[in-house]
Amino acid sequence: MRTSNPALSDKIFKDVRSDETRMTLSGTVNKCYLLIGILLVAAFWSWRNTLAADGTISIPGWYLPGIFATFIISLVIIFKKTSAPYLAWIYAAGEGLLLGALSALYEVKYNGIVLQAVCCTAGVFIALLFAYKTKLIQATENFKLGVVAATGGIAIVYLISFVASFWNVQIPYLHDSSPIGIGISVFIVIIAALNLVLDFDFIEKGAEAGAPKYMEWYAAFGLLVTLVWLYLEILRLLSKTRKK
């Protein structure tokens, strides 16, 4: 079982003990709802405190430290899976604060874009969940390998772009609104969306394997990571189509 999401790897089921309370599909779904709810509440609060009534933006001083802290928390969860029940909700709240402020910035520049991005993200999630449950899309080994390879390639390109930005160098087409640039964003959105299928498969296989109960929090955290990525990529894509 493969997944390109660094939070979800098949190796994590190796140390399952038979005497532990088992991971269930319904329990994981409930925790997914809880984490998404926490994220949305935090995002709304951050939005309200970033976007003033007159339409001006006030970037909170905690934004950059918050990015670093949230990233560290995600790494702790990934490398110490038993911490997921204690840290996953903190990650969701931190991610929500960051997304709320970032979304406010996009909203000021492109009116209505955030609602569009949220609706598109929810629509893609529901559509892929339906396709997975009805077997229209199956997480075969070749499918997993293709999505993993594409996701890894995207991660490498983003890393190169980040490093190159320190020398004011930009990768051609990655951030512009040309037809090629929009096409690249469409491709990245598709790959981000297909990662949801791998996450659904991971959760289902984990429940079937009798993973320990704390894995419900871990799997919910992993799914949230993919949803956040998908939302950000849709937001970027929509912003490119709005640029003149």
pLDDT single digits (tens) 132-153 = 999 999 999 999 999 999 999 9
Distance CA 42, CA 60 (A): 14
pLDDT over threshold 90, residue 5: no
8 Å CB contact between 7 and 203: no
pLDDT over threshold 70, residue 3: no
pTM, entire model = 0.88
User: Which residue's entry shows tokens 């791998």?
Assistant: 198
φ, ψ at 57 (rounded to 5°): -110, 135
How many angstroms from the chain centroid is the CA of residue 47? 19
Four-residue CA torsion sign, 113, 119, 125, 130:
negative
pLDDT digits (tens, 9 = 90+) for 166-222: 888 888 888 888 899 999 999 999 999 999 999 999 999 999 988 999 999 999 999
Alpha-carbon dihedral angle through residues 243, 66, 200, 79, given to the nearest 10 degrees: 140
Q: How far is CA 68 from CA 14, 98, 111, 230, in A?
A: 30, 11, 29, 20
Cβ neighbours, 10 Å, residue 97: 24
Distance CA 104, CA 33 (A): 23
Domain boundaries, the chain: 21-242
pLDDT digits (tens, 9 = 90+) for 14-67: 554 443 578 999 999 999 999 999 999 999 999 988 877 666 777 777 788 888
Please compute the mean of the pLDDT values over residues 98-108 and round it to a whole number: 93
